[in-house]
Amino acid sequence: MKYLIIYYYLLLNLSSAAQPIPAHDPVLIKQDSVYYMFCTGQGITEWSSVNMVDWKKEPPVFAQPPAWVMKELPAFKGHTWAPDMSFHNGQYYLYYAVSAFGKNTSCIGVATNKTLHPGARDFHWEDRGKLVQSVPNRDDWNAIDPNLFVDDNDSAWLTFGSFWSGIKLVKLNNDLVSLAHPEEWYNLANRRDSGTTAIEAPFLFKKGKYYYLFVSVDYCCRGLKSTYKVLVGRSEKVTGPYIDKNNVPMMKGGGSLVAAGDTTNWVAIGHNSVYTFDGKDYIVYHGYDAKDNGKSKLIIRELGWDANGWPKMSELR
């Protein structure tokens, strides 16, 4: 009887662990023994876990939109997009985007915190204001989907972009909350040579001698009609040029496939991030569940590398 009870306990836990939680544009970070996942949502949605399988919902980052957001976007309702999280200079940096869907009336902001543990005495999100803004009829780019990257020379860069003229890179000051001067801007990827502008969600990751630029292409946010997928290119310089497996520049519509929907389990997948935890590399993204009316859910998989140094998918979690 004792072993039967244990068996059913394990079965129930495995069954619950196999159910992905709701998520859109997920990013991860680990503090001590706890993983924190942030994603698009009202005030930025947050979850915590000790094993990347069982997740607990945490309060949103922003109970109310920052004052500067309401000034720049008076109609903003609090649905904050595409967070990016990292730890530098002894504190956590959270980059996020606010915008109107399908328009480049967009801003990227940043907030900082000394700890991610909600119960800690010094837990407090301090919003540091607007970092980058795109304005319709002025800018042919879109200030959303930020990703911070610090290179081997300790230079800080912010990559971002969605549709329009594609993926951008701009250098930051060492404070990580302001643009470097004189300003340095670079174009990393677009798909205009492929007859579309559907590219977004850049994420930079260093492995060996290469900088890898992951992007999402085609269309998200359409439930069962979504066509999202993840592509990658690489460069020996953070500023590019990024080239795919077939030596096609990402500025010319290139990009090698990393992950796509299989139509059986996931209609489409995208908006990824990549991390190294405890000596293993992981790729994190959201997928549109083919068996649940295309609802957006969290997927975490181990990321392997082939003999030529290109990423390949591994274990599903």
Rounded to whole angstroms, how far apart are CA atoms 55 and 298? 11
Rounded to whole angstroms, how far apart are CA atoms 174 and 154? 8
Six-digit token string for 262: 């299989």
What pLDDT is recorded for position 163? 96
pLDDT 10s digit of each residue in the chain, 317 long? 444 443 333 333 433 444 789 999 999 999 999 999 999 999 999 999 999 999 999 999 999 999 999 999 888 888 999 999 999 999 999 999 999 888 999 999 999 999 999 999 999 999 999 999 999 999 999 999 999 999 999 999 999 999 999 999 999 999 999 999 999 999 999 999 888 999 999 999 999 999 999 999 999 999 999 999 999 999 999 999 999 999 999 999 999 999 999 989 999 999 999 999 999 999 999 999 999 999 999 999 999 999 999 999 864 44
User: Cβ neighbours of residue 258 under 8 Å, at least 6 residues apart?
Assistant: 214, 230, 231, 232, 272, 283, 311, 312, 313
What pLDDT is recorded for position 17? 45
Domain ranges of the chain: 21-316
Closest CA to 286 of 30, 39, 14, 16: 39
What pLDDT is recorded for position 280? 95
What pLDDT is recorded for position 303? 96
DSSP 20: P
Six-digit token string for 86: 């990292």
Closest CA to 56 of 31, 21, 26, 30: 21
pTM equals: 0.93
What pLDDT is recorded for position 15? 38
CATH architecture of the domain 21-316 equals 5 Propeller (2.115)
108 touches 95 (CB < 8 A): yes
What pLDDT is recorded for position 10? 38
233 touches 203 (CB < 8 A): no
254-266 burial by CB neighbour count: b if 16+ within 10 A, else e? bbbebbbbeeeeb
- Can you spell out the DSSP letters for 263-289? SSSEEEEEEEEEEEETTEEEEEEEEEE
Q: Which residues have a catalytic role annotated?
A: 25, 200
Instruction: Return the number of other C-beta atoms located less than 10 Å from residue 144's C-beta.
Output: 24
Rounded to whole angstroms, how far apart are CA atoms 130 and 68? 7
What pLDDT is recorded for position 74? 87
What order do you get walking across the sheet with 41-42 strand by strand? Answer: 41-42, 79-88, 91-98, 106-113, 126-134
What order do you get walking across the sheet with 185-189 strand by strand? Answer: 147-150, 156-160, 167-172, 185-189
Closest CA to 268 of 300, 229, 315, 301: 229
- Length of the chain as a residue count: 317
